[in-house]
Amino acid sequence: MASPVDRLAAQRLRVAAMIHTRTVSGPARQLAALAQRLDRDGVEMLIIVFQRRNQPLSAFVEYLQAAKIPHAVVTERHAFDFGLVEGVKQTLSQFRPHIVQTHGYKPSAVAAALRLRRAPWKWIAFWHGTTTENLKVRGYHQLDAFLVRRADRLVVMSDAQRRRFADLGETVSVIPNAVVAPSRAVSPLALPADAPRPVLGVIGRLSSEKGVDVFLHAAARLVEQKASFSAVVVGDGPDRAALVALRDELGLTDRVHFLGHLADPSPVYAAIDLLVIPSRSEGLPNVLLEALAADKPVAATSVGAIPDVIDSPQVGVVVPPESPGELAAAMLTALRLRDDSDAARARRRVVDRFSLDRRVEAHRRIYAALCPMPSLEPALASRR
Question: Measured between alpha carbons, how far is 363 from 15 in angstroms, rounded to an integer?
Answer: 11
For the chain, the structural domain boundaries read: 11-178+356-383, 199-353
- What is the C-alpha end-to-end distance of the chain, expressed in Å? 34
Give 50's pLDDT tier (boundaries 50, 70, 90): very high
Summarize pLDDT for 255-283 with one digit per residue, the tens. 999 999 887 788 899 899 999 999 998 88
Mean pLDDT: which of 71-75, 160-164, 284-288 is highest? Answer: 71-75
| Averaged pLDDT for residues 34-60 | 92
Listing DSSP states for 33-60 in one string gives HHHHHHHHTTEEEEEEEEEETTSPPPHH
Sign, CA torsion 163/164/166/169: negative
Summarize pLDDT for 310-329 with one digit per residue, the tens. 989 999 999 999 999 999 99
Look at residue 379 in the predicted model and tell me its pLDDT: 52
**Residue pair 318/301 in contact by the 8 Å Cβ criterion:** yes
Q: Do domains 11-178+356-383 and 199-353 have the same CATH topology?
A: yes
CATH architecture label of 11-178+356-383: 3-Layer(aba) Sandwich (3.40)
Question: Measured between alpha carbons, how far is 342 from 377 in angstroms, rounded to an integer?
Answer: 39
CATH topology of domain 199-353: Rossmann fold (3.40.50)
Partner residues linked to 76 by β-bridges: 52
